[in-house]
Each structure stands twice: as C-alpha cells, then as structure tokens.
Structure 1
Amino acid sequence: MGHDFDGTSIPAEAGLEVLIDITKGCFLGQESVARVRNLGHPPRVLLHLTSPQAVAPGAEIANPAGETIGVVTSAATAEAGGTVLLASVRWAAARDGTLLGPDGTALSPVRKSD
C-alpha cells in the first residue's frame, strides 16, 4: 500500500470516496463506507503540511493541549528549507486548527492553489 495508507485505511481518508459505487450492492468494506456516509466525514484525514523544522516519518502530531492527534506518514526536505509532509490526523482535530510537530513547532497546512 505505501507509507501514507495501510490495510486499516479507508477510501474517504484519501479523498477517494467518489470512486465507490454505493448502489452496487454488497462489497468488501461496505460497512466502513456506510459509516463515513452517515457521519459525514472519515475518522482520519491525510493532510499536506509544512514545518520550518526537520520532521521525520513516524513523528507524532499534537494539539496545543499536548494530546497526540496524528502521525507523520511521509516527509521530505523542502527546497526553501524546512519540511513538507503528509500526516494522518484525526478528523475533528484537523478541523480544530493548531497542529504541532514533535518539537512543539506549529505545522502549516498547504493550501490548494486556485
């Protein structure tokens, strides 16, 4: 599967729910797909973030209260310095705002360009 998704990941966490035909009838994973549809969101989301500091895959992401809310799945050194990374983060925590890297540095979301 790769670094960013594993056997426990569901399509909605990757933004792939549009590829699922829910009218098809029974299929493997149907219950988790239905749960996401009923809740209106997946339990976790994959975020594209940047950090001014070096961050390694496997590093924990925290909220301002110090609670672990996610994990870095992939990271690379940015040309301008710092790190660009992908992180799997709890949905509610991702919507709440501030995400902190392992050293307490604020992580910034990468915005889609229009």
Structure 2
Amino acid sequence: HLDKGCYRGQETVARVHNLGKPPRMLVILQLDGSSDRPVTGDAVTAGGRNVGRIGTVVEHVDDGPIALALVKRGLPADTELVAGDEAQAPAVIDPDSLPEADATAGAGRAAVDRLRGR
C-alpha cells in the first residue's frame, strides 16, 4: 500500500505503481511431452538467453504437460522457448495466459516521457 509506513519492498511497490508494470509476467507454458519434464526453478530460455524461470509443472487433462513460468514482460507469444536445465523441453506460451495490454501509463512513466521529449 502506498499510504502505509515503511515496510520491506516499499520501493518495488512504488516503482510498479509509478511506472505502471512489473518487469516480469506470469504465463502458462505448453510443454512438449516427448521429453522429460523440467522441474520448479529451472530456466526458460529463448535463443540461448535466459528469459525466465519455471514454477509449477503439472499434467493437464486436455493439454498434456503445462507449467507456470515467470518470463520477461513483452515476450511475444510465438517465441520459441526451451524449458529446463537438464531436461530441456520445447515450450510455447499459451496466448490466452498473456496479460491484457494496458494503454494507461503510470504518472512516473509520463514524467519520464516528458523529460525525454516524447
């Protein structure tokens, strides 16, 4: 809360409030079931670069193996991903799990844009 006294994480909460978005987003990954499953904490990579971390991995009754993952904000849904450190499974972001685009910017973002002449 922004009106509360000092607390751990206050700067992070204020930054998200003022700039409008956290740096990562929670998405559902559809995993390729032909290989071993990744485990909680394994990396998610795109083109050899780390773009996130795996959370929970489960077997969905209709979709097969899926996982929750925290990935970099703005990562397109059609990006080819690899989930896992030892057991590397091809993965695809479920487009329905992507957060809706927010057209409003926080007050801090508007101030930065004015300073940069945008």
> Cα gap change, 1:30/1:79 in structure 2, threshold over 3 Å: closer, same or farther?
same
CA distance in 1, matches of 2:42, 2:53: 6
| Alpha-carbon contact 1:36-1:42 (below 8 Å) kept | yes
> Cα gap change, 1:25/1:58 in structure 2, threshold over 3 Å: closer, same or farther?
closer
CA distance in 2, matches of 1:66, 1:96: 17
Paired position in structure 2 for 1:109: 94
Offset of 1:85 from its aligned partner?
0.9
* Higher relative contact order, chain-length normalized (CA < 8 Å, sep 6+): 2
Unaligned runs of 5+ in 2: 98-118
Offset of 1:61 from its aligned partner?
0.8
Name the Cα RMSD after superposition.
2.5
CA distance in 2, matches of 1:67, 1:32: 25
| Alpha-carbon contact 2:77-2:93 (below 8 Å) kept | no
CA distance in 2, matches of 1:75, 1:96: 19
- The structure number with the bigger radius of gyration is 2
Paired position in structure 1 for 2:5: 26
What is the identity, as a one-letter code, of the residue corresponding to 1:51? Answer: L
Offset of 1:81 from its aligned partner?
5.7
Offset of 1:44 from its aligned partner?
1.7
> Cα gap change, 1:97/1:31 in structure 2, threshold over 3 Å: closer, same or farther?
farther
Unaligned runs of 5+ in 1: 1-20
Paired position in structure 1 for 2:81: 100
CA deviation map 1:50-109 (0-9, x unaligned): 21323332222111x2101111111011223631111111224x3575151233623131
1:38 alignment partner, SS class:
helix
| Residue of 71, 74, 78 corresponding to 2:56 | 74
CA deviation map 1:11-56 (0-9, x unaligned): xxxxxxxxxx43x243412211111123221122221222132333
| Alpha-carbon contact 2:40-2:54 (below 8 Å) kept | yes
Paired position in structure 2 for 1:4: none
CA distance in 1, matches of 2:20, 2:48: 27
2:96 alignment partner, SS class:
coil
What is the identity, as a one-letter code, of the residue corresponding to 1:83? Answer: P
Aligned residues: 89
| Alpha-carbon contact 1:55-1:101 (below 8 Å) kept | no
